[in-house]
Structure 1
Amino acid sequence: MITCVVDYTIDAAKIEEFERFARRWVELVNRHGGTHHGYYLPAEGASDKALALFSFPSLAAYESYRGLFGNDPDFVAADRIRDESGCVLRYERTFMRPLLAEDAPG
């Protein structure tokens, strides 16, 4: 399994637009073979940071999903929310390998 962690810097004045963007991506990841673990939005402290975590069974499965970017109309529409609203100022994507409870020696 591979987990993608996306660290966002968002426009805090456009949190509603970011939430609309996030809801679409949760749906798209889940529909196309991944498991979305959610978006984590500002609550206290820094108001311009948000995170998303989602997993795919393998890097190959993730790459198949990524192949839909710019091609699939639903993906284009989801990106349009971000682009037209300006809710995302920048983001950084990191791939991680989770260590889960069932992986621990017992």
Structure 2
Amino acid sequence: MSLTSLTCFIRYQIDPFQREAFRHYAEAWGRIIPRCGGNLIGYFLPHEGSNDVAWGLIGFDSLAGYERYRATLKTDPEGCANFEFAQARRLILREERTWLEDVASTLNLTRELTP
């Protein structure tokens, strides 16, 4: 079975006192990830409940697309600077990645408004 679309689901444990620094980090990825070939679905900060867990979701057409993205990202000056920013600030305490196969018929559905 070949996968046509994958999502990298990233769970971050962040320093809750550096929430705004993580926001800055995530906003930078909003410029970098699409330029390097990923489909940024979004970053999400804690709102209620746990105050130290954030999420990032990035889509790819295939594992080969992900590998191309990673190679491009390693040479992207802004991407390298963003990694260095996070390391210098120590705002990410732990990072976990899970790969998910997209169920295409369920993506980007919106509620239909009735008159």
TM-score, structure 2 length as denominator? 0.82
CA–CA distance in structure 2, aligned partners of residues 32 and 54 of structure 1:
12
Q: How many residues align?
A: 103
Identity among equivalent pairs (%): 36
The answer as to whether partners of 1:17 and 1:81 remain within 8 angstroms in 2 is no
CA–CA separation in structure 2 for the residues paired with 1:94 and 1:102: 19
Aligned-residue CA RMSD in angstroms?
A: 1.6
Unaligned runs of 5+ in 2: 108-115
State TM-score, norm by structure 1: 0.89
Counterpart mapping for 1:1-106 below 5 A: 1-101=5-105
Q: Aligned equivalents of 2:64 and 2:100: distance in 1?
A: 14
CA distance in 2, matches of 1:45, 1:79: 27
Amino acid at match of 2:62: S
Gap change, CA 1:71 and 1:31, over 3 Å in 2: closer
1:24 CA drift (Å): 1.2
For residues 36-57 of structure 1, the C-alpha deviation after alignment (integer angstroms, 9 at most, x for no partner) is: 1111110000000000001011
